[in-house]
């Protein structure tokens, strides 16, 4: 496994880490045992960062609980990332984020579900937030109390990132962004901003919710609540078909010895800002495969060639 310095934190983080959204049954049913095996298989393969959020899971918080249970005994050897911003919204009543105390409330609860006395990196999960001051004040208080070590934001909007960074007076240590071979928009603004300010970069969606595995086509029927909007007649169908076209262009550009998944993940990891990718996994074998991809990067010529296709 390749490890890289994570911005101003100085942490040595596995280049291929584990996204844990799917461990809470939103992408399909998983048993407690399977979820735990996925986490521990990733850890045994060299992964030392695990990304989750307060709202992940059916019910809310299940992903955090399963991650916390699986990491018991090795907690001091890993970094845990969680996010505050959507607790209860999916089930009808979101926790209001009107005061710093509400942010503190969510932070304390997150640490409790994870079974830890602190979360290494806590992110604001409201990617379109206009005024981040409540989050910044709450995060500063949580850090003062020792419940979090560092904080940042998950967003795909450069204006939001800039506002958050300025409101934090430079304390913002990281950003989580959606970035892949079929979504290279962050290369234009967010990633250069991160390089300028030495922010740690986490990449969600490096396989575009599974599309860059090459397993799906226009006849696929999605049964999970995350992707059911891609089905025929649903509101995200046009977006889905456009993304499939982009995947086909990428596949056509692959060299004979290149695997689509490996290439897609290594493309993102090979960006000069040294991102940390957080693909999910639905089996221990897949967690190991994703971790192994973190051993190598693309050479610059190949990266640039793929970039020209993606853009």
Compute the distance between CA of residue 1 and CA of residue 24 in angstroms, rounded to an integer. Answer: 26
pLDDT in tens, 141-154: 999 999 999 999 99
**pLDDT above 90: residue 27:** no
Residue 114 belongs to domain with CATH number: 3.20.20.100
Q: Please, which pLDDT band fits residue 281 given cuts at 50, 70 and 90?
A: very high
Work out the average pLDDT over 69-90: 95
Phi, psi of 195 (to 5 degrees): -65, -40
Compute the distance between CA of residue 283 and CA of residue 278 in angstroms, rounded to an integer. Answer: 15
**pLDDT above 80: residue 14:** yes
- The number of domains in the chain is 1
Q: Please, which pLDDT band fits residue 58 given cuts at 50, 70 and 90?
A: very high
Which candidate, 291, 286, 288, 310, places its Cα nearest to that of 180? Answer: 310
**pLDDT above 90: residue 88:** no
Q: What is the CA radius of gyration of the chain?
A: 19
Please report where in the chains the tokens 């981040």 appear, as a residue: 132
Work out the average pLDDT over 157-186: 97
Decide if 109 is inside a domain.
Answer: yes
pLDDT in tens, 210-236: 999 999 999 999 998 889 999 999 999
Decide if 253 is inside a domain.
Answer: no
Decide if 247 is inside a domain.
Answer: no
Decide if 220 is inside a domain.
Answer: no
Q: Is 40 helix (H, G, I), strand (E, B) or coil?
A: helix
Decide if 225 is inside a domain.
Answer: no
Output the six-digit token pair for 260: 């689509």
Please report where in the chains the tokens 């550009």 appear, as a residue: 253
**What pLDDT is attached to residue 89?**
86
Count CB-CB contacts under 10 A for residue 225. Answer: 13
Decide if 55 is inside a domain.
Answer: yes
List alpha helices for 56-99, DSSP H: 62-71
Domain that holds residue 125: 3-213+259-310
pLDDT in tens, 90-116: 888 889 999 999 999 999 999 999 999
pLDDT in tens, 189-208: 999 999 999 999 999 999 99
Compute the distance between CA of residue 156 and CA of residue 218 in angstroms, rounded to an integer. Answer: 27
Distances (CA, A) of 283 to 28, 244, 280, 286: 12, 24, 9, 5
Decide if 226 is inside a domain.
Answer: no
Count CB-CB contacts under 10 A for residue 109. Answer: 16
Decide if 233 is inside a domain.
Answer: no
């Amino acid at each position: 496994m390749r490890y890289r310095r994570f911005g101003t934190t100085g942490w040595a983080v596995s280049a291929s880490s584990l996204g844990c959204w799917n461990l809470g049954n939103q992408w399909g049913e998983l048993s407690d045992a399977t979820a735990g095996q996925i986490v521990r298989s990733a850890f045994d393969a060299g992964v030392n960062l695990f990304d989750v959020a307060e709202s992940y899971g059916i019910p809310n918080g299940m992903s955090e609980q399963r991650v916390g249970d699986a990491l018991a005994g090795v907690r001091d050897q890993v970094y845990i990332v969680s996010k505050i911003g959507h607790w209860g919204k999916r089930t009808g009543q979101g926790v209001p984020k009107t005061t710093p105390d509400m942010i503190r409330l969510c932070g304390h609860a997150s640490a409790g579900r994870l079974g830890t006395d602190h979360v290494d990196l806590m992110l604001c999960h409201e990617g379109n937030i206009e005024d981040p001051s409540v989050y910044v004040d709450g995060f500063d208080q949580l850090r003062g109390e020792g419940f979090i070590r560092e904080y940042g934001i998950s967003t795909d909007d450069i204006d939001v990132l800039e506002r958050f960074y300025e409101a934090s007076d430079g304390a913002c240590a990281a950003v989580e962004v959606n970035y892949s071979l079929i979504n290279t928009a962050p290369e234009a603004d967010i990633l250069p901003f991160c390089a300028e300010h030495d922010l740690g970069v986490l990449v969600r969606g490096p396989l575009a919710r599974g599309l860059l595995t090459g397993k799906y086509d226009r006849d696929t029927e999605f049964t999970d609540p995350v992707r059911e909007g891609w089905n025929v007649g649903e509101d995200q169908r046009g977006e889905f078909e456009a993304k499939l076209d982009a995947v086909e262009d990428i596949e056509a550009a692959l060299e004979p010895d290149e695997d689509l998944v490996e290439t897609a993940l290594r493309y993102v990891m090979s960006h000069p800002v040294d991102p940390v990718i957080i693909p999910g996994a639905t089996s221990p074998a897949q967690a190991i495969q994703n971790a192994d991809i973190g051993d190598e990067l693309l050479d610059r010529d190949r990266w640039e060639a793929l970039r020209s296709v993606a853009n």
